A and B are shown apart, each in its own frame.
Chain A
Amino acid sequence: GAGVSQSPSNKVTEKGKDVELRCDPISGHTALYWYRQSLGQGLEFLIYFQGNSAPDKSGLPSDRFSAERTGGSVSTLTIQRTQQEDSAVYLCASSYRGGFSGRAYNEQFFGPGTRLTVL
């Protein structure tokens, strides 16, 4: 089926505004991740959803960031009162299952990302 999709592909906003980024994972994938990638940098983990378990929010940089996943499928990352340092590419990934079980767990399929620019 289709891969991971993200929308919008690009978002330009003014400092102080709220933004919502959407991720639609691969159907049947129970695990969903959000990452942030600043220019020329590696990926920074933000949050992880696995099935109906409580999400791991340990990577969220501040309380301005929040995420939800409705019905075990689509996820929305919300950034409130955006700051210029929030400018980055936000990547979503999904994998078939959670739990530590080799490639099936670790093979994450990434979406194309949302490029967020805060002016």
Chain B
Amino acid sequence: AQKITQTQPGMFVQEKEAVTLDCTYDTSDQSYGLFWYKQPSSGEMIFLIYQGSYDEQNATEGRYSLNFQKARKSANLVISASQLGDSAMYFCAMRESSASKIIFGSGTRLSIRP
């Protein structure tokens, strides 16, 4: 069964610093996709980044990058030069190619200090 684990319930980071949000996953499939969503206090879910299991390079989207370590089954999100607007809940998620549903982790609440 697929499973997503986010071990950091909350994090505080100083503005302009880089931050890494941890995500580990468990799957027996060889083909799967991993991604991260941001949920500000307003409640909307915002897609950030996607990584396919066969992608050889780590995905990057602006200030976001995904540190994909397949052998360790980890998919950490790295935010460079954090901004106050980055304060939000961050969810890691996974979809196996054999499944239609996407499984979300429990989330990490990131707070950026000015």
Contact = CB atoms under 8 A, between A and B. Distances in A.
17 contacts: A41-B106, A42-B106, A42-B107, A44-B104, A45-B102, A91-B45, A93-B45, A100-B31, A102-B33, A106-B35, A106-B47, A107-B50, A109-B47, A110-B45, A110-B46, A112-B43, A112-B44
A88 B81 CA distance: 34
Interface residues of A, number: 27
B7 to A, nearest CB: 13
Contact of B105 (A42, A56, A103, A108): A42
Interface string A5-27: 00000000000000000000000
A75 to B, nearest CB: 15
A102 B59 CA distance: 11
Nearest to A44: B104
Interface string B87-101: 000010101010011
Interface centre among A42, A59, A110 (most CB of B within 10 A): A42
A48 B33 contact: no
B97 A100 contact: yes
A44 B101 CA distance: 10
Contacts of B50: 102-103, 106-107
A97 to B, nearest CB: 13
